[in-house]
Amino acid sequence: MCKTRNGAVRLVPEWAKGTSTPTERGVPLVFARSTPLVTSTPPEQVTNQSGYVTLTMIPRSTFPLKRGYHVQFFLRTRKDGEPVLAGVSSRRLAQVATA
């Protein structure tokens, strides 16, 4: 992937797995951003009927696209209608190799 292309990230919240529909436990909303900010930050998205969400991020000029480098992402899933800080949610840090 070159630095001018968009990168699509497909995620499924773990707590949404094993349910017949995502609405069984409430519609999960997913937020993701790189840490540090080396990509654009897409808006929070609602999962589709199968529980997946696709977020598109645009790499910035500081994106480390070299062998042996990694980018960390902050991920948050939450139940729609709940407060961001006090409601039902899950937060994770994930690391992805860039080359």
pLDDT digits (tens, 9 = 90+) for 8-38: 666 655 544 554 444 555 668 889 999 999 9
Q: 52 pLDDT exceeds 60?
A: yes
Q: Is the pTM of this model over 0.85?
A: no
Instruction: State what percent of residues in the chain have pLDDT above 90.
Output: 17
pLDDT at 9: 62
In the chain, how long is the greatest CA-to-CA distance? 42
Q: Is the predicted pLDDT of residue 98 greater than 80, yes or no?
A: yes
- DSSP E strand boundaries for 23-64: 28-35, 45-46, 53-57
